[in-house]
Amino acid sequence: MSWAARIKDVPSPLESSSELLDIVADTMPSLRSLSKYALSALGASQSVFADSNMFEAVSSCSNPQLSCHNTTVQPNLCCFNAPGGSLLQTQFWDTNPPTGPDGSWTIHGLWPDNCDGSYDANCDSRRAYTNITEILRAAGADETLSYMQTYWKDYQGDDESFWEHEWSKHGTCISTLNPSCYADYQPTQEVPDFFNRTVSLFQSLPSYTILADAGITPSSSKTYTSAQIQAALSAAHADHEVYLGCSGSSLNEIWYFFNVRGTLQTGTFEPADPLASSKCPSTGIRYLPKGASSTPTGTRTSTAPTSTSTSAPGTPFSGKGHLTIIPSGSSASKGCLISNGKWYVSGTCATYTASGSSDSFTLRSSKGACGVVEGAFTCGSGVSEGQAFSAEDGKLAYEGSAEFSADATPSGTQQVVVSAGGSGDVGVEVGWEGA
């Protein structure tokens, strides 16, 4: 995914936070309600709160419950993570370009998934802060920031935009980080709590060392089985399996699942079973060294050949073809993707060119290169060249997952954005029809 640089907003002082004190006493039926109330007092401020002692001033919680294990509705979402009660500490292994230290995985993020495996995203646009480095420095979180500069890396070098993206998309959906949960809340007070906790979790999960201790080390020639990798990682995760992500046959992601007893800030993270199925083959998994000259992992980029594939006609995702849309639960296609990458059910399907192999290929339409930008499948001048896709059971896959979705099914001449992942209301698969 390309982390496009964003225009930096100039911080402005908070006009008033006194209204927030009244909110704490109110009932809080949902995360989105919490956000609405808190933002009525906050406005659009991005002021940085510099008194680090205040970051510990969260609501007191007695007898906290374990998320995703409650049998009754928990009314106080400042003490109970909901609806995102399944917390995932996600890690990258990027080899081309090599990202982070050679002997360590890197941080992807900390994600609050719902207890059924679905998830919310970008829950509070008014807190989509664009000055993470400044916020952490002002809070005295220099040690966390320094660690992030080494281990929380963007593969294109734009770490700040990567951190902003992870906070805005995932951090704003964590209920116990809502402004209403802080006594005498000051703007951005919750941000260091998110990054401190993410870093501390990552430090407790040294995936490179865990795998190496089991004899699983990066190699350009060796391959491993899913069972070998799972055995090593689950032993370090209280015997709970993890999610393994592969680009083709190359290992490039690990997700550790947790439930939380209490708040993200001070609660206990308890290992849990994964709510997503791993996207790696059972055998022949490659764990490439960083900087290996062989086929890259294809996490978000590819060095696949630019010439058109010479595979036999009809081979999925080779040569020229159409990207068809198959809604979940249906075996028949309904419309296709037009040249800008949007879902359309009327008119003529666009012709796409797939270049590479089924394990790693690029896509182009008449608009230009295609890729996933801010979660959306897009084609055109704003897409960086070389974003890699793969084929999973004949369907288009991005970062090892064939799951795509849209907010609605188009009708008539409507054009609807299709996003990677299952965040939309309409689940879809993207198929290939040779031109």
What are the residue numbers of the active site? 108, 166, 170
* CB distance 387 to 369 below 8 Å: yes
Which pair of tokens denotes residue 13? 């002082």
Pairing mode of beta strands 360-365, 352-357: antiparallel
Sign of the torsion formed by the C-alpha atoms of 333, 339, 340 and 345: negative
Report how far residue 401's alpha carbon sits from residue 342's, in angstroms, rounded to the nearest whole number. Answer: 19
Is 125 buried (19+), middle (13-18) or exposed (0-12) by CB count in 10 A? exposed
| Residue 11 · residue 48 · CB < 8 Å | yes
**Residues 6+ away with beta carbon under 8 Å from 261:** 64, 65, 66, 67, 267, 268, 270
Strand (E) or helix (H) holding 113: strand 106-113
Among residues 252, 229, 247, 208, which one has the least CA distance to residue 108? 252
The DSSP letter of residue 7 is P
CA distance readout (Å), 214 to 229, 245, 248, 252, 296:
9, 19, 23, 18, 24
Where on the phi/psi map is residue 255: left (φ > 0), alpha (ψ -120 to 50), or beta? beta
Token output for 251: 């290992």
What is the residue-wise DSSP string for 352-419? EEEEEETTEEEEEETTEEEEEETTEEEESTTSPTT--BEEETTEEEBTTB--EEESS---TT--B-EE
349, 360 contact by CB (below 8 A): no
Rg (CA), the chain: 22
User: Residue 225, exposed/middle/buried by CB under 10 A (0-12, 13-18, 19+)?
Assistant: middle
